């Protein structure tokens, strides 16, 4: 999930707050409101989210309902998703808008509540139809929520609307293999993602995974998988547990179980910081680690 955009925040809130002239006591509303919104948005843009929350709270106390959206964005950046959702509930109750549904969907996604996230992205799409960014976010929610058919449909739609979206190709590549059981087409999708964006870490990651776990020995290529997995790790600064786990699997495919164990353990260590999703990945990681400790590679089931 990409970091939420905030370029709209200043103009939306400023316009709303300028209507609150009667709410300010002992000061000139026309001056005080713009000054406070400037401080709030400035603090947010500088990454001082605690200060931004304080300013937005003052605006809310003065009567600004729109300031809830600004405060929700600041809570989101602080990873306080429950408070962000609470503020967004207020925004949506007062004035349902696509931006609020989108941000609430992102918060639910971060909490690994993928079904609810997909629902919010769907509400946003009713208000902003055929938005490829929203469809991609909903596809991700379906994907991680165990809804491969819906995810596949959404990734297809993103590609139809925006044929240069590398992440959509990378995700569809994995689904072509895992859901459609077509590893060759999945590999083509991953290669397309990389050609569209040489910095698409997920393209390298998924390509390495398919070259590693494919049931067909004619397609598996452990050495090439190691190279692609290492590139995915480089692009994520060796801090994302997913490509580290794929790298471990690639080494196992090559018969290098010492490195397989090393990278799988490192992946599991990083999973500890991923909340609910990390717990799920840790369970899968234990199974992989047991295989490597018994000198067995990780493979997908035959179909």
pLDDT digits (tens, 9 = 90+) for 57-69: 999 998 888 899 9
Spatial separation of the C-alpha atoms in residues 259 and 230, rounded to whole Å: 12
Look at the pTM and tell me if it is higher than 0.85.
no
With tokens 């293999």, the residue in question is 177
Q: Is 114 domain-assigned?
A: no
Q: Does 281 map to a domain? A: yes
pLDDT, one tens digit per residue, over 96-114 is 999 999 999 999 999 999 9
Quick one: pLDDT band at residue 277, thresholds 50, 70, 90?
A: low
Question: What is the rounded average pLDDT of the residues 37-55?
Answer: 94
- Domain end marker among 95, 111, 130: 95
Q: Round the average pLDDT of the chain to a whole number and report it.
A: 88
Residue 217 maps to which CATH number? 1.25.40.10
Task: Note the pLDDT tens digit of each residue in 222-261.
Answer: 999 999 999 999 999 999 999 999 999 999 999 999 999 9
* pLDDT band (50, 70, 90) for residue 284: confident
Q: At which of 69, 95, 121 does a domain end?
A: 95
Does residue 158 sit within a domain? no
The owner of tokens 């603090």 is: 43
- Spatial CA neighbour of 161 closest among 192, 121, 120, 129: 129
User: What residues contact residue 4 under an 8 Å CB cut-off, 6+ apart?
Assistant: 73, 76, 102, 103, 106
Is there a domain that residue 303 lies in?
yes
Q: Is 291 a member of any domain?
A: yes
Is the pLDDT at 278 greater than 70, yes or no?
A: no
| Percent share of the chain, pLDDT over 70 | 85
Residues 176 and 185: beta-carbon distance below 8 Å: yes
Tell me what pLDDT residue 144 has.
92
Percent of the chain with pLDDT over 90: 79
The pLDDT of residue 302: 52
Tell me what the mean pLDDT of segment 271-286 comes to: 70
CA atoms within 13 A on the CB side of 303: 10
pLDDT band at 214 (very low <50, low <70, confident <90, very high): very high
User: Residue 145: inside a domain, yes or no?
Assistant: no
- Structure-token pair, residue 273: 């910081």
CA distance 191 to 204: 8
Residue 24 has pLDDT above 60, yes or no: no
Q: Is residue 110 part of a domain?
A: no
Closest CA to 34 of 51, 21, 47: 21
And the tokens for 283?
Answer: 């369970």
Do the Cβ atoms of 88 and 107 come closer than 8 Å?
A: yes
| Average pLDDT, integer, range 79-94 | 97
Mean pLDDT, residues 260-284: 79
User: For the domain that residue 83 is a member of, what is the CATH number?
Assistant: 1.25.40
pLDDT in tens, 138-183: 999 999 999 999 999 999 999 999 889 999 999 999 999 999 999 9
Domain membership of residue 14 as a residue range: 1-95
Residue 295 has pLDDT above 50, yes or no: yes
Domain boundary among 36, 69, 95: 95
Count of domains in the chain?
A: 2
Confidence at 25, pLDDT banded by 50, 70, 90:
very low
For residue 62, being part of any structural domain is answered with yes
């Amino acid at each position: 999930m990409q970091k939420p955009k905030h370029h709209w925040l200043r103009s939306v809130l400023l316009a709303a707050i300028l209507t609150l002239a009667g709410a300010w006591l002992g000061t000139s509303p026309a001056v005080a409101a713009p000054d406070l919104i400037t401080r709030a948005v400035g603090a947010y843009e500088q990454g001082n989210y605690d200060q931004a929350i304080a300013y937005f709270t003052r605006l809310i106390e003065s009567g600004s309902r729109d300031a809830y959206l600004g405060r929700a964005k600041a809570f989101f950046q602080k990873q306080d998703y429950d408070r962000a959702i609470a503020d967004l509930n207020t925004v949506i109750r007062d004035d349902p808008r696509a931006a609020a549904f989108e941000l609430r969907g992102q918060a639910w996604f971060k909490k690994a509540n993928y079904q609810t996230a997909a629902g919010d992205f769907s509400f946003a799409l009713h208000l902003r139809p055929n938005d490829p960014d929203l469809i991609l976010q909903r596809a991700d929610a379906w994907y991680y929520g165990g809804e491969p058919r819906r995810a596949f449909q959404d990734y297809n739609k993103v590609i139809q609307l925006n044929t240069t979206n590398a992440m959509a190709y990378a995700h569809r590549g994995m689904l072509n293999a895992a859901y459609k059981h077509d590893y060759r087409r999945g590999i083509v999708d991953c290669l397309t993602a990389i050609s569209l964006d040489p910095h698409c870490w997920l393209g390298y990651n998924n390509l390495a995974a398919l070259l590693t776990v494919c049931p067909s020995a004619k397609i598996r290529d452990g050495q090439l998988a190691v190279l692609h997995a290492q590139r995915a790790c480089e692009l994520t600064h060796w801090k994302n547990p997913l490509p580290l786990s794929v790298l471990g699997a690639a080494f196992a495919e090559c018969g290098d179980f010492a490195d397989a164990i090393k990278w799988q353990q490192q992946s599991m260590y990083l999973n500890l910081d991923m909340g609910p999703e990390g717990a799920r990945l840790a369970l899968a990681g234990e199974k992989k680690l047991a295989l490597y400790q018994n000198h067995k590679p990780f493979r997908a089931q035959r179909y």
